[in-house]
């Protein structure tokens, strides 16, 4: 293991030296949006015996994919890591963060840099629904293919990352509203992940999200004050 990756592993696992107390994640009686948004926390301790069904995972993802995306190209792709042996394979790649193996599933959110190839299908649906004329559709799809199809790799990746971030947030909020807990993770070796899971070249890793039944609450929220992060009209 290189020095850099062991430093990163140490950094990520220092979290275990923090006293989380024994409080369970807050049970919400309401899935009211404001309550869910305020109460979601990154949870790193899970009941390893709790299992989500495939149907429950699909339900969460159905809500997540209602997120907005650039030109509605929906570049998000998901790899659900469900089997215990597959989670074990991911564990060292994700710096041995315990939530990888204890949570019910780990969802790898990926961003497709070639999502523009679906433009025709997506915009056809608008024509079929009578919301767009064929002529307007041809214009849109032509522009999308010309622009997105010629983006340099860096820009295509940036677009996929922004949309991937939006769908990830929506997934975490959907989970909280369903009484589940999550933690987003950027702390993994992307190159090793791509290799180990045979990820197609155009699917760029956005983040991993553990989803399950939390048994210890995440940290209490610590946030900069709004005034520290807010400017009106101009810097
Ligand atoms: C992109 C991203 C990557 C993150 N990576 C990790 C990670 O690898 N491991 C971890 O324990 N937490 C990770 N976190 C969680 C943050 O530490 C957490 O969101 C932050 O401390 C705020 O706490 P809260 O989510 O409970 O509000 C990540 C969060 C984001 C948004």
CATH assignment at residue 102: 3.40.109.10
| In-domain check, residue 108 | yes
In sequence order, the 6+-apart residues with CB closer than 8 A to the CB of 97 are 12, 13, 44, 91, 185, 187
CB atoms within 10 A of CB 162: 15
Domain extent, residue 164, equals 30-113+151-218
Query: What pLDDT score was predicted for residue 112?
Result: 98
184 Cβ closer than 6 Å to some ligand 1 atom: yes
| In-domain check, residue 121 | no
Please give the distance, rounded to the nearest whole angstrom, from the Cα atom of residue 145 to the centre of ligand 1. 35
Please give the distance, rounded to the nearest whole angstrom, from the Cα atom of residue 43 to the centre of ligand 1. 9
Question: Residue 5 — pLDDT band, cuts 50, 70, 90?
Answer: low
Query: What pLDDT score was predicted for residue 17?
Result: 78
| In-domain check, residue 163 | yes
Please give the distance, rounded to the nearest whole angstrom, from the Cα atom of residue 108 to the centre of ligand 1. 15
139 pLDDT higher than 90:
yes
21 pLDDT higher than 70:
yes
Which residue has its alpha carbon closest to ligand 1 atom 21?
A: 42
Query: What pLDDT score was predicted for residue 58?
Result: 98
Q: Which position has the higher pLDDT, 2 or 117? A: 117
Taking the CA of residue 42 as centre, how many other CA atoms within 13 Å lie in the half-sphere pointing to its CB? 13
97 Cβ closer than 6 Å to some ligand 1 atom: yes
| In-domain check, residue 2 | no
pLDDT tens, residue by residue, 89-125: 999 999 999 999 999 999 999 999 999 999 999 999 9
| In-domain check, residue 229 | no
Question: Residue 1 — pLDDT band, cuts 50, 70, 90?
Answer: very low
Query: What pLDDT score was predicted for residue 30?
Result: 79
> For residues 46 and 52, is the Cβ–Cβ distance under 8 A?
no
| In-domain check, residue 4 | no
- Structure pTM? 0.94
> Alpha-carbon distance 192 to 39, whole Å?
33
Minimal CA–CA distance to 217: which of 181, 174, 168?
A: 181
| In-domain check, residue 119 | no
63 pLDDT higher than 70:
yes
Question: Residue 3 — pLDDT band, cuts 50, 70, 90?
Answer: low
Residue with tokens 């610590």: 222
The region of weakest confidence among 23-32, 64-73, 151-160, 200-209 is 23-32
19 pLDDT higher than 80:
no
| In-domain check, residue 35 | yes
In sequence order, the 6+-apart residues with CB closer than 8 A to the CB of 182 are 40, 42, 43, 171, 172, 175, 176, 209, 210, 211
DSSP structural state of residue 42: B
Tokens of 171: 């997934």
Query: What pLDDT score was predicted for residue 7?
Result: 87
Minimal CA–CA distance to 132: which of 116, 119, 117?
A: 119
111 Cβ closer than 6 Å to some ligand 1 atom: no
Please give the distance, rounded to the nearest whole angstrom, from the Cα atom of residue 35 to the centre of ligand 1. 20
> For residues 46 and 144, is the Cβ–Cβ distance under 8 A?
no
Tell me the best of 92, 183, 193, 205 to mutate to test the pocket of ligand 1, counting ligand atoms within 8 Å of each CB and taking the most.
Answer: 183
100 Cβ closer than 6 Å to some ligand 1 atom: no
Residue with tokens 């469900």: 82
pLDDT tens, residue by residue, 175-206: 999 999 999 999 999 999 999 999 999 999 99
99 Cβ closer than 6 Å to some ligand 1 atom: no
Q: Which position has the higher pLDDT, 47 or 28? A: 47
Domains contained in the chain, number: 1
Please give the distance, rounded to the nearest whole angstrom, from the Cα atom of residue 137 to the centre of ligand 1. 40
What is the percent of the chain where pLDDT is above 90? 86
The region of weakest confidence among 12-21, 93-102, 136-145 is 12-21
Please give the distance, rounded to the nearest whole angstrom, from the Cα atom of residue 56 to the centre of ligand 1. 23
230 pLDDT higher than 60:
yes
2 pLDDT higher than 70:
no
């Amino acid at each position: 293991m290189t020095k850099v990756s062991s430093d990163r592993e140490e950094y990520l696992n220092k979290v275990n030296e923090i006293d989380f107390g024994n409080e369970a994640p807050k049970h919400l009686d309401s899935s009211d949006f404001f309550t869910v948004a305020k109460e979601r926390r990154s949870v790193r301790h899970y009941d390893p015996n709790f299992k989500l069904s495939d149907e429950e995972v699909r339900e969460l993802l159905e809500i997540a994919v209602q997120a907005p995306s650039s030109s509605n190209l929906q570049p998000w792709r998901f790899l659900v890591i469900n089997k215990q042996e597959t989670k074990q394979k991911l564990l060292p790649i994700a710096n041995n963060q315990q939530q990888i193996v204890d949570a019910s599933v780990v969802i790898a959110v990926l961003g497709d840099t070639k999502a523009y190839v679906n433009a025709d299908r997506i915009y056809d649906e608008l024509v079929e629904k009578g919301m767009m004329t064929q002529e307007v559709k041809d214009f849109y799809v032509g522009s999308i293919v010309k622009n997105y199809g010629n983006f340099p790799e860096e820009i295509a990746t940036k677009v996929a990352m922004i949309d991937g971030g939006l769908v990830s947030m929506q997934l975490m909020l959907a989970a909280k509203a369903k009484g589940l807990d999550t933690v987003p993770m950027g702390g993994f070796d992307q190159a090793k992940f791509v290799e180990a899971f045979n990820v197609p070249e155009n699917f760029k890793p956005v983040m991993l999200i553990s989803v399950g039944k939390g048994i210890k609450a995440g940290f209490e929220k610590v946030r900069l004050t709004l005034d520290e992060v807010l400017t009106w009209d101009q810097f």
